[in-house]
């Protein structure tokens, strides 16, 4: 396989992407997760992480932090609902803009996973 990812199916049949150690240095250098994302948006990333925690407390407070995809299927509709209230706080104390960002990441993740599945 020429991809920088290998595929593993979980029990829930979700694709997990695992970075392959054989990936060449040039590709790794062109994927600056820390310097190209985390350093640009540290406060926003923290807020998204807190949003994940709040969502876990709402939906599965007795379980370890995990994305319960069975309760997350309408990313673009939910994103749009929160976008209408951008600039304000939701009733749980999380910014609507933070929820927009979380839903955008969730949608992007699913798009990438679906594209990878189609190549299998």
Task: Please state the domain extents for the chain.
Answer: 32-119
Report which secondary-structure segment, H or E, holds 19.
strand 15-19
Query: Tell me: the pLDDT tens digits for 75-102?
Result: 999 999 999 999 999 999 999 999 999 9
- pTM for the structure as a whole: 0.79
DSSP-derived pairing of the beta strands 5-9 and 15-19: antiparallel
Q: What is the mean pLDDT of the chain?
A: 84
Say which DSSP state 34 is in: I
Residue 16 — φ and ψ, nearest 5°? -110, 135
Query: Contact 89/95 with Cβ under 8 angstroms?
Result: yes
Q: Tell me the pLDDT tens digit for each residue of 9-19.
A: 444 444 444 44
65 close to 53: Cβ distance less than 8 angstroms: yes
Question: Angle at CA 88, nearest 5°, toward 69 and 77?
Answer: 35
Based on its alpha-carbon atoms, the radius of gyration of the chain, rounded to whole angstroms, reads 16
The position carrying tokens 């009733």 is: 91
Query: What is the percent of the chain where pLDDT is above 90?
Result: 61
**What average pLDDT does range 49-68 have in this prediction?**
94
């Amino acid at each position: 396989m020429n991809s920088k990812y290998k595929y593993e199916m979980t029990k829930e049949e979700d694709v997990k992407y695992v970075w392959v150690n054989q990936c060449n240095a040039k590709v790794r250098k062109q994927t600056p997760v820390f310097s190209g994302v985390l350093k640009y948006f540290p406060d926003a990333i923290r807020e998204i992480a807190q949003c994940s925690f709040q969502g876990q407390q709402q939906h599965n407070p007795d379980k370890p932090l995990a994305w319960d995809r069975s309760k997350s299927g309408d990313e673009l509709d939910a994103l749009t609902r929160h976008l209408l209230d951008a600039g304000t706080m939701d009733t749980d104390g999380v910014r609507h803009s933070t929820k927009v960002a979380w839903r955008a990441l969730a949608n992007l993740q699913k798009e990438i996973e679906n594209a990878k599945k189609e190549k299998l």
